[in-house]
Amino acid sequence: MQANASLPDPRPFSGTATHPLHQLADALLGERNLGHLVAKEAALDAEIKRLLSQSDDAELLNALASAPSPASQRVLNERLRVNVAQAGADQAQQAVIFALPLVLVAGVRGKHVIAGKLPDVDAVRALLQQHGVIAADADVQLSAKLLDRDQLLAIQPSQLARWRDALQYASGGLPHDFKESPVQVDGDGVFLRFLVGVAMQKKDAAPAVQLNIAPGPWAMALTKLLGEQLKHDAMTLFPLPRAPQTWLAALDDGRVAQQEIRFQVFASNTLRKLREAGETPVAVLSCHEGAELRVTLGAEKNGEEWAGFIWPLGQLDRVEAIQQMMVDLLRECHHDDIRVLGEVLPQIKDNLPYFPLPTELPASATRH
């Protein structure tokens, strides 16, 4: 067993700065002098603000997607989030546009539809105020609609910045016709929805909403309340709320949370089935073209018994962190035979999605 077994990053970073934002980000990353560091961060922020003010979202998103390195991509994402969320220093008030990711782990015999709207969103807001997530006297509006991720992705960064500066009160909510997104449950699954809202934040005042607050009693109480509001006699439901976050941060946090829980469910269910069938399970971790990390859980000597899991890598995903999460979870499931492949593999082999099976691996395959 080798502790240093690691997956490669399959994302095609060019290593070459091809956009002014890339050059500004790389200059910031390479700076060690604190005074110069502040100036270079300000230069990067100024260019991002210029593109936001011109509603040039396509240019911004293209620069992020074509970043020359993972570090450059991370710093560009970080500064975009900051510049979208924070108003100018001269503004006495701003609107905080936030979203609360909600992972729903559901199981039902047959089919069921989870409604796309909470029956009592006022109770949710009251609970968040009781636990200090929302300030008691804050001007905050929380929508009752459960939104899918595509609706949040459709709101461009420049639009978020305009709402931040233009909204004068929260009671009207966000000026957009969001649609309820019911959840179609067929058997079991792990689903992602968002609650969105707006809070008016006065300069130098205590936060109207506690963004990225640590899990605690508020999360357990909200899990119980949401479970009661969305329950159905034929369905098992575990709502797992995340902390309220700025819009762009919530998009990524919700995606990662859903994927982690999907992997937990996949691993525990597949390991149980293999063991019940009398097989010795082996886990194979591999990275593939198309920016995917894949896991094959299969029988050591039976190539017919296996299941596969795909993690599409996002811009802020760190391959090493995902690998460690997966290894830790497999070990919690009392599974230690974990084999890590050190080269980037194709997505398709023999006209089928490629999942390397334990029976195909040489005896020398690296073990974690």
The domain locations on the chain are 20-85, 93-250, 277-360
The helix/strand/coil state of 272 is helix
| pLDDT tens string 22-75 | 999 999 999 999 889 999 999 999 999 999 999 999 999 999 999 999 999 999
The Cα 205–Cα 92 span in angstroms is 10
The helix/strand/coil state of 368 is coil
Backbone angles phi, psi at 158, to 5 degrees: -65, -30
The pLDDT, as a whole number, for residue 89 is: 84
Which residues are within 8 A (CB) of 98 and not within 5 positions of it... i.e. 6 or more apart? Answer: 196, 197, 198, 199, 209, 211, 244, 245, 246, 247, 250
**pLDDT-derived band at 4, boundaries 50, 70, 90:** low
| pLDDT tens string 242-295 | 999 999 999 999 999 999 999 999 999 999 999 999 999 999 999 999 999 999
